[in-house]
Structure 1
């Protein structure tokens, strides 16, 4: 293949063993997702472990969020230019180095630096999904995308009990050594067993100014959103950051529309199908994340509150783990629905199921079994939605821009999750009850949070239903193949770039 023919693995092996390639890429996604939840069991202990304040320790989480937001679109663009497999390997390097730095850290500054490096590796999932389009047979692509997308949920769900079990029974440093070893294993499997894709030699240059502008805008936006509750939503710092974000992103958009080789082709993202899918992705990201903020707190609050369930961190993680496995189990069903009716319908159904999960939560908040049902229903919806979004994106963009478009879509979901965290935090902070002199979120606060998730899920379903997917045979955008009829693999996101 052009630019990467010297690799020992070729695409014919993917044709013969597509399941093995998908499994490796899904494993990469699981490792990346585990990294995001890795420090959750340590949040309360980080100030003591790192000899710092709780406010400083919170940057251990924020640093990963910010680094991932900046790195994901950059990795996507570089993947389109130099090959997705190459960028997968490059993305895993800071994940390994960052894990080692964290494992060796004893103070907060190197820990934050290490977590930032880990965040640079979060482009693994959109790169993996995009690579599937290049190397997996068309008839296998829909189910492969669904499985790869579900790896996020599996990793996120397994990460909690995994981290809690190690933190409770061994040194916290073991967490990072294990992740470093897993990342090395993933890189080795990709190097030896995943075939190379074709580098796009006509992609042009890298838009460094665009990358810097987008990074500045995203850092200001996400920093203001994630730290606004701590700093005060009306504080000069928060308002200044949000204002700077608007200015930076507007200037970035102006530049992207005028430069010859943009980081993100905004004309492609402005296509109605891509634009509406990204809008739905923000809403799905919001709805998906709301319950993951509420359920763990309800499980761990003391029973004496009257609504808490008194579970340990490990028990909480185990109660939530089945939800991630549900995503993996449901993903093939979502792929079949996309093949039969199109990914637009799958995304709509997924958003409705998420809303249903929040709806049934209201009478079930008082028991562990009830919360398990809530997480299983919501994860079923997320499994449908996460498999459908990349399919919608890839069926509307040229193959040469697959990674960039998928990475931008992933970024939209992350922004939705960040906004969700901020909104739910405000709700729970405002609706509190006194418990032994401490202010805890009230039961009504949790109910309002779940109602918000339900409402956003319904809005996501409406937006998804309105995505304007061209009818079969309609002329697609430049650089994409004609759309196939419903029921074919191509309509589920396998429209490949037309050959001259």
Structure 2
């Protein structure tokens, strides 16, 4: 049995840490959506073919997919704050490179460097996990997650405003400025985490993953130009399969892999990760299609003739709605579980894309599509980490969530490449300019719908989570004050007393049992002598959270072997000590 205190590992951590880390999330979101308002103009701006121009977007997603596990592992080894600053610094350099060029290859190089900012997300969450008391961690991570939606929602109209009234290179100067500000704030406010992992960095694994993903995405993007049956296309696909297989075998053989593939052996982890790829695909399609449809001239017969700013405002609800679904997700997941929430989210995405096929005739219709898709994607994305955490032991949650994030990034990268290729191949050439067609937009939406259908099928086959203990009964009707009355003799669970800092028993303290899925597995009120008893539904890691009026809250982790016995665990408020 293990239990920990809620003391912060580093006392320099202040209340400003969470907003500063959330601001880093906003910077990442801005970097991702920076070029969305000028997507349709990229071939002309860079004097290249549309299929080449898509690499300006794909390269960022690709480097982000690779950077996520790389920066996460480096952060565990050498310090998360240090690697967070490095991620942002590489992004700033990339933004400045892009700001100073109109050449395709140099622009792709700059955008590739910008993708490294994606590593800031797992690093920020890791810093929160290391520094914050457990009772504050949930809300802090929710703020970090919602900041990505807020950043994306606000960045679209802001980037459109800049691109419409200034040289488009100003977008990169703005991103570099935000990156510098985030670095300065991090240096001033965020302390370094004392947590360090043992082992070394898997250089070969990083090179293998990067090579395999490039070999996969290059023929997807250029296959139509080279010919799908050409030796180059087929050769690159074959090479990607070989490289990724060899990479996987190598990762399984070494002690400290870049990505722990052993966790994928579990059915629930494998299915969740495959569903994550599908959600990633569906997420990016709308960002690529709607801005172009909105900005195309009405003279085309299907374009909506809107300015960049209006187009940005019409798509902005996508990110903002993702943020507002967070509290809805919390309620749905608490009642029905993350599997059901994922299925609901995917159904809403399917409705959004299915309805979107017939809602392309006016700007207000694109807003409706954005809202519906934002709600569905928000629910689906929120469910994925909970499913992963509930499927693996507590010691493996970091590696498992890192792999899940990688899968989502691969989904968005593949989506960018495939949809870019579809739009380029269905475009009309008018006076030397490639104009996307309505047929291309509809095919893109159909691809997204098919991806969601596959995701739904995978989600349905996810195993059902274990049921809570059968001998617990709900006594109160209020959600906040609901108390689960335990049997007087707890055969399998935790028992002890709730005490204050001086050792005096605390009566009517609420003690809540939380399982590794983050869901309530039981709750009770302490007796007059401070005693409490809670049964556990199964073996595993749990958190016992205690709170009482006039005392600080306490969260203590404990593990139960599943044997038919009660483990003694006293809980001392406000959380300075834990005795067993």
Q: TM-score range by the shorter chain?
A: 0.7 to 0.9
Q: What do the CA deviations read for 1:300-330 (whole angstroms, capped 9, x no partner)?
A: 2222333321112222112111221111122
What is the distance in 1 between the residues matched to 2:90 and 2:463? 39
2:125 corresponds in structure 1 to: 129
What is the distance in 2 between the residues matched to 1:231 and 1:198? 51
Please point out which of 325, 337, 349 is paired with 2:332.
337
* Structure with greater Cα Rg: 2
What is the distance in 2 between the residues matched to 1:485 and 1:152? 22
What is the distance in 2 between the residues matched to 1:342 and 1:374? 26
Shift of 1:68: 2.0
The structure in which a higher percent of residues are strand is 2
What is the distance in 1 between the residues matched to 2:383 and 2:67? 23
Please point out which of 58, 61, 79 is paired with 2:57.
61
2:89 corresponds in structure 1 to: 93
1:25-40 mapped onto 2 (5 Å cutoff) = 25-40=21-36
The CA RMSD over aligned residues, in Å, is 3.5
1:3 corresponds in structure 2 to: none
Contact 1:395 / 1:495 at 8 angstroms: preserved in 2? no
1:477 corresponds in structure 2 to: none
Shift of 1:119: 1.6
Please point out which of 71, 81, 86 is paired with 1:75.
71
1:372 corresponds in structure 2 to: 367
Please point out which of 234, 250, 261 is paired with 1:239.
234
Q: 1:139 to 1:106 in 2, by over 3 A?
A: same
1:6 corresponds in structure 2 to: none
Q: Helix, strand or coil: the match of 1:120?
A: helix
Single out whichever of 97-106 and 252-261 deviates more from structure 2: 97-106
1:168 corresponds in structure 2 to: 164
Q: 1:372 to 1:158 in 2, by over 3 A?
A: same
2:247 corresponds in structure 1 to: 252
Please point out which of 348, 351, 359 is paired with 2:346.
351
Query: How many residue pairs are counted as aligned between the two chains?
Result: 480
Contact 1:142 / 1:335 at 8 angstroms: preserved in 2? no
The structure in which a higher percent of residues are helix is 1
What is the distance in 2 between the residues matched to 1:25 and 1:409? 21
Structure 1 alignment gaps of length 5 or more: 1-8, 475-480
Q: Helix, strand or coil: the match of 1:122?
A: helix
Q: What do the CA deviations read for 1:134-187 (whole angstroms, capped 9, x no partner)?
A: 334444444443442333333333333222211222233332222112112222
1:223 corresponds in structure 2 to: 218
Contact 1:123 / 1:407 at 8 angstroms: preserved in 2? no
Please point out which of 145, 148, 151 is paired with 1:152.
148
Shift of 1:377: 0.5
What is the distance in 1 between the residues matched to 2:400 and 2:460? 21
Structure 2 alignment gaps of length 5 or more: 1-7, 470-513, 523-535, 544-556, 561-580
What is the distance in 1 between the residues matched to 2:438 and 2:166? 35
What is the distance in 2 between the residues matched to 1:302 and 1:49? 18
Shift of 1:53: 6.9
Contact 1:473 / 1:484 at 8 angstroms: preserved in 2? no
2:413 corresponds in structure 1 to: 418
Contact 1:80 / 1:404 at 8 angstroms: preserved in 2? no
Q: Helix, strand or coil: the match of 2:463?
A: coil
What is the distance in 1 between the residues matched to 2:431 and 2:439? 19
Shift of 1:118: 1.1
Shift of 1:473: 7.5
Q: 1:62 to 1:352 in 2, by over 3 A?
A: closer
1:268-347 mapped onto 2 (5 Å cutoff) = 268-347=263-342
What is the distance in 2 between the residues matched to 1:47 and 1:423? 17
Contact 2:271 / 2:459 at 8 angstroms: preserved in 1? yes
Contact 1:37 / 1:156 at 8 angstroms: preserved in 2? yes
Q: What do the CA deviations read for 1:11-51 (whole angstroms, capped 9, x no partner)?
A: 5576x84xx54433332122112112323444566566667
Please point out which of 383, 388, 393 is paired with 2:383.
388
Q: 1:22 to 1:344 in 2, by over 3 A?
A: farther
Q: What do the CA deviations read for 1:208-256 (whole angstroms, capped 9, x no partner)?
A: 2222211211121122223334443333322222111100010011111
Single out whichever of 54-63 and 186-195 deviates more from structure 2: 54-63
2:112 corresponds in structure 1 to: 116
Single out whichever of 393-402 and 296-305 deviates more from structure 2: 393-402
Shift of 1:105: 3.5
What is the distance in 1 between the residues matched to 2:444 and 2:94? 34
What is the distance in 2 between the residues matched to 1:11 and 1:369? 50
What is the distance in 2 between the residues matched to 1:182 and 1:94? 13
1:405-484 mapped onto 2 (5 Å cutoff) = 405-425=400-420, 427-428=422-423, 440-468=435-463, 470-471=465-466, 483=516
| TM-score normalised by length of structure 1 | 0.84
What is the distance in 1 between the residues matched to 2:159 and 2:149? 15
2:180 corresponds in structure 1 to: 184
Q: What do the CA deviations read for 1:274-305 (whole angstroms, capped 9, x no partner)?
A: 22211110011112222223222321222233
What is the distance in 2 between the residues matched to 1:433 and 1:63? 25
| TM-score normalised by length of structure 2 | 0.73
Q: What do the CA deviations read for 1:336-393 (whole angstroms, capped 9, x no partner)?
A: 3333433323222211111121232233221111111011010011111222222333
Q: 1:437 to 1:196 in 2, by over 3 A?
A: closer
Shift of 1:267: 0.9
Q: Helix, strand or coil: the match of 2:408?
A: helix
